[in-house]
Each structure stands twice: as C-alpha cells, then as structure tokens.
Amino acid sequence: MKTYVVMGGGGSFGVHAAKYLLDHANPKKVISIGRNSEKPEPFTLNVGKGDPRYEYHQIHLNYEQDRLFELLDKEKPEVIVSFAAQGEGAVSWKNSWRFFETNCVALVKMTEDLMKRDYMERFIQIGTSELYGSVDTASTEETPIRPTSPYAASKAAFDLYLISVANVLKFRMNIIRPSNAYGPGQLLHRVIPRAIVCGLTGQKLPLQGGGRAKKSYIHARDLGRAIHLVSEKAPLGTVYNAGPKEPTAIRELVEMVAKVMGIPFEQLCEMTGDRLGQDSQYWLDSSAIKKDVGWEPEITLEEGIRETVEWAKKYKEVLKDWSQGYVLRA
C-alpha cells in the first residue's frame, strides 16, 4: 500500500485523479494539496468525504515550500503527482512571469529538495499537449517542442528540466502530456462546462473563431487511469502523450453538447473573433503509453458530455451564478 500526493489537488483534474487512486490503487493514503481552500461540492464532487484515507491541505507551492516539506517528510509519499500550474494559455500574454514563477521556478525548487528524499519512488508531472504547438499530424513524444504561448513555454521549460535531471541525476520521474481533459467539476471558463451551463441558463456561448480550431479531448477519469497505470508500470524517465486517436473541432464539440441537451446549435452559441494566439490543431500520438502500460481512452466524447450535463443539471443553482472567467492569481 502506497501513499500518494496530488499537487494541484484542488483543481478539477486533481480531484478526479485523487478519486481514481482512492477507488483503484488500494492506497494507504491519498493527500491532495492545493493553494486554495477546497471549493464547494459541485467542484470537489465530495471526493474523499468520510474516507479516512483522504486528506486535503491548503499549501501555496510558490511561498510555502517549508510547510510542504514538513508534510511530505511526515507522510513520506511513494508517489507524487503534480498538476500544480498556472493553467490558461489564452491569458498568459499578460503577466507572463506569473506562469514561469509557478510552472517552472517553484517546481524546480521543489524538485531539487525532492532529490534529497529517498522515500519518493516516482514523481509524475502532468504536462500539456500545447507545448507541441499547432500540428498537421499527430505529435509523438519525439516531435520538436514549439510552444506558442507563454503558458506552453513555461510548461515546456519544466519538462526539459525534468528530462535533464532524470538523465544525469537519475531523478525518478515520468511526464504525462495529456490532451484537453474535461468532466464533471471542471471550472466554467472551459468550453464544455461553459457551453452546458449556457444551455441550461439560456445564455449564448461565445464561439471563438467559429470553432474552427481542433483539439483532442479525454475524460478526466481516463487521465486518472493513465496516472495510475504509469505509477505502477512505466519505466522511470519516460515521457508519454495521452489522448484520443483523432482531434475534434470545437464547433463539432459544441454541436455535440447542443444535441445531448436537445437545444438547437444556433440557439446555444454566437460566433466571435478568434482568441489571441489560438493554435489551429492539437493532436497526439499516444501509441507509446498504450505499448508500455496498456492505456488508451475508454470513455467516448459523447458519453463524457452526457455525464457532464447530468452533473451541471444537479448543481445548476450553484453553477448559474459561478464565474465563467479565469482569474490569474499568485
């Protein structure tokens, strides 16, 4: 039985990862760490509630690493999973240093201290498909990195650091670069939950650039399964892409939301100008993670959207007043 720590555990994908580990990893303990206090039930999904194996700690990675290591040295986790990041490429053109402060500098500082601890068996960094930039064919893990936003550049910088210390100093790590994850509990500045809440409340979803851009989507539970399989089976030092075989145009995605909700597409959204720096297509080749640990997505996009619609209906009274914008904080 292992103790797992999930950094960035207050975010929606950290929540799903913690739940997957509780349900499938037979853990001694799952400890989530986030910079904020826990969000209300629609976003925590009551994960870990009443389970003595689960803890949540509010610790700010940038400013409280002394408190972080007091906790880590007490609990001695074998596996640390890091979602910790400033995570919104579209707003990273302003105050870009904030993204490097968290996504690179704070994580490098933490990594250097983790190298002094022999209790940690594996560090799993959750990267991003955005660091490959816009592509015409599916990116493999060997595809040259071409970040097209400060956010993606900051994520790429830490990936490259991890690869270097794994090669030279034998730091025990893996990197998972997932496609766009989604699912119940996701904050409303993301297109799928925002489209659903707009549909429930009669608002219009601004469809940037007409939804021409293509992205790849996986359910957060599929990402949780990838993390568990990598933690159990992957050779140390390896980098894995994790996504579906084909990308989906954002317009097609919103059309699927409208269909599931029984709303005319034209009623759900309005066309707006494209966002600054929008990449035309994210697309991953995930054959390596399938070969090494047997992972591939199991939840179809339509199944995942239906599940997310049911979540939004259940918590409509909270979600209708929740912010649909992204707020950049330290």
- Check pLDDT > 70 for residue 79: yes
Under DSSP, the state recorded for 178 is E
> Which residue range forms the structural domain that includes residue 10?
3-181+218-242
* Residue 273 maps to a domain: no
pLDDT, mean of residues 108-129: 97
pLDDT for the residue 275:
63
* Residue 296 maps to a domain: no
* Residue 330 maps to a domain: no
Locate the DSSP E strands across 53-172. 54-58, 79-82, 122-126
- Model confidence at 278, pLDDT cuts 50, 70, 90, reads low
pLDDT, mean of residues 267-290: 85
* Residue 205 maps to a domain: no
- Check pLDDT > 90 for residue 208: no
pLDDT, mean of residues 194-215: 91
* Residue 104 maps to a domain: yes
Using CA atoms, how far apart are residues 259 and 263, in angstroms rounded to an integer?
A: 6
pLDDT, mean of residues 145-160: 96
- Model confidence at 271, pLDDT cuts 50, 70, 90, reads confident
- Check pLDDT > 90 for residue 72: yes
- Model confidence at 272, pLDDT cuts 50, 70, 90, reads confident
pLDDT for the residue 287:
98
pLDDT for the residue 277:
60
Check which CATH number belongs to the domain holding 84 and give it. 3.40.50.720
- Check pLDDT > 90 for residue 222: yes
Count of the separate structural domains present in the chain: 1
* Residue 202 maps to a domain: no
pLDDT, mean over the chain: 94
- Check pLDDT > 90 for residue 324: no
- Check pLDDT > 80 for residue 88: no
Q: What is the CA radius of gyration of the chain?
A: 19
* Residue 308 maps to a domain: no
What are the φ and ψ backbone dihedral angles of 279, each rounded to 5 degrees? -80, 150
- Check pLDDT > 80 for residue 279: no
* Closest alpha carbon to 128 in 106, 105, 107, 145: 145
* Residue 26 maps to a domain: yes
Using CA atoms, how far apart are residues 250 and 306, in angstroms rounded to an integer?
A: 17
- Check pLDDT > 70 for residue 23: yes
Q: pLDDT, tens digit, for every residue of 121-134?
A: 999 999 999 999 99
In this structure, of 83-87, 124-128, 310-314, the range with the lowest mean pLDDT score is: 83-87
Q: Percentage of the chain surpassing pLDDT 70?
A: 98
Structural contact between residues 250 and 212, judged by C-beta atoms closer than 8 angstroms: yes
- Check pLDDT > 90 for residue 330: no
